[in-house]
Every structure is written in C-alpha cells, then in structure tokens.
Structure 1
Amino acid sequence: MRSQEVAVYKEIQKNTEMAMRAIDIINDKIYDEDLSRQMSRQSLKYSEIHNQAVSQLLQAKAEPYHESHVENLMLAGAIHYNTLLNTSTSHIAEMLIKGSNQGILDMNRILNRNAEAGEKPTMLAQQLISFEEKNVERLTKYL
C-alpha cells in the first residue's frame, strides 16, 4: 500500500473515531428522541466506515492512527463547555453540523493532498464525505 493510500485511510479512521466519540459524549445531553435515534444511526454508519479503513490498514500491515489522550480531553472539554449553558436541540444540532462540516473539510483536504491515493481509499473517503453531507441536511431540521 502506498503512503498516500495509508494517509487517506488514517484520516478516515481519525475522522470517524472523532465523530463516534463526539456522539457518545453529546448523546447524554440530547433530549429529543428523534435526534437521539438519528445520532445512534450515524454512529453505526461511522463505525462501518471506520472498520473498513482500519481493515485496509491492517491488511497492508500499516500502522493505524492512534489518538492521543490530549485530543480526547480537548474534544470532551469543548463539548461540555459548549453545552454548559445551552443544551437545546437546536444548539446541539448546530454543534453537530459544525463537526460534520469540519469532517468534510478535513477529508477534502486529505484527498487534495493525496491525489494519487488510488480508487479504493478515494471511494471510501467520498463515501464518508457524502454521508457527512447527508448528516448536515438531516440535522438542519432541528435548527
């Protein structure tokens, strides 16, 4: 596996891990049942994409991405800070939209920097981008 393919798969892994962790953290603050169900479905889809990326990395004997404890603490701290005074459904939806938009930006950036990555990692990255875009569409109804 070429280094550009590894870079794309690692970014997919990083992106999906952060999304799943954010959903886990914020799920306790969601009081709208429909939004909570949607977050559970999103987490499952992120998990599927994550597992595909990790599987490809492991098959190629490449080192998967490892998040630091600092990154985890920063994410949890940011979510708790942003929901300290406002846990309304619209505010949480806005936070989730911002997270999805950041994921879209990060994936597009990694694809642009690794244009020679090959078809399989590019297709998986595009699948993640498309999923994130649909998430944004679904979440706008909660604003």
Structure 2
Amino acid sequence: MDGNIEILNFIYQNSEMGTETIKHLIDITEKSTNEEFKNILYSQYNEYNKIFKDSEKMIKDRGHDPKDINKFQKITTYIMINMKTLTDKSPSHLSEMLIQGSTMGVIDATKRINQYDDADKDVLELANKLLDFEKDNQEEWKKFL
C-alpha cells in the first residue's frame, strides 16, 4: 500500500474516532446547562466529520476502500469514556479528557506527516488540516479546565 493511502487511512480513522467520541460526549452532556461547552462539541463534531468525509473520498478516488477502526477499539473507547465520566461529567473533566485525546492526535499526525513527507500535496494538506484542528482543539478546551 502506498504512502498516500497509509496517511489517508490514518486521517480517516483519527477523524472517525473523533466523531464517535464527541458524539458519545454530546449524549453524556445533553443535560448540561453549559451551552458554550455543548456548542464547541457540536462544532468539533462537524469538523471531524468533514475531515472524515474528505479522507474517505480521497481514498476512494485512489481506488481503495477506507479501513474502519476495529470494533474492539471502538468498544474499548466507549467503555473508557463511560468509566471516566461515571462520577464526573463536569466541563473541566471532559475538557481534560478531550485535551488528552487531541494531544495524542497531534503526536500521531505529526509522526505520519514526517513519515510520509513525500505524499501527494492534497494528502499532506488534509493531514496538516487535521493537525491544525487538533492543536486548535487543545487550546479551545483549556478555558474549561
């Protein structure tokens, strides 16, 4: 498999995990009165979803099928979110979790961009868009700590 497909599948899976995680947190915070927090969740969900769809299209345009996150990883993430929010659903605690997730995203995206620096320009642009988005997310959640 070529580097373009490798990095696109990374973007696809990263943004898929982002949409799944935030969708779950939206459900958890549905009774929250912190509208600003919920609005940011919705905004980030929409951006992850856009990146997800863009990466899916780029993979298919190159004649491949995207690789979904495996079911075990999805279930594990779902359970971990439920455990970590069992006793504390506060915006501060959720922000800390989201910052940790985005930090992992920054590290992983940076590694992939460095590893596949010879990838097509449009692929690297999408990878950098994801990287910048993850960095912005880190900053956006800090105000709730």
Answer yes or no: same fold by TM over 0.5: yes
Residue correspondence of structure 1 range 1-143 to structure 2 within 5 A: 3-30=2-29, 31=32, 32-143=34-145
Helix, strand or coil at the partner of 1:142? coil
Q: Deviations over 1:24-71 (max 9, x none)?
A: 111122222111111101111111111111101101111201221101
Q: Distance in 1 between matches of 2:37 and 2:2?
A: 38
TM-score, length-scaled by structure 2: 0.93
Query: AA paired with 1:9?
Result: L
Q: Distance in 1 between matches of 2:70 and 2:126?
A: 24
Identity score, percent: 25
User: 3-state DSSP class of the match of 1:85?
Assistant: coil
Distance in 2 (CA, whole Å) between partners of 1:14 and 1:100 is: 14
Which one scores higher on RCO, CA 8 angstroms, separation ≥ 6? 1
CA RMSD in angstroms comes to 1.1
Shift >6 Å, 4+ stretches: none
* Bigger mean CA deviation after superposition, 108-117 or 13-22: 108-117
Total equivalences in the alignment = 142
Q: Cα offset for 1:4?
A: 0.4
TM-score normalised by structure 1 residue count: 0.95
Tell me, in whole angstroms, the C-alpha distance in 1 between the residues paired with 2:18 and 2:102: 8
- Structure 1, unaligned stretches of length 5 or more? none
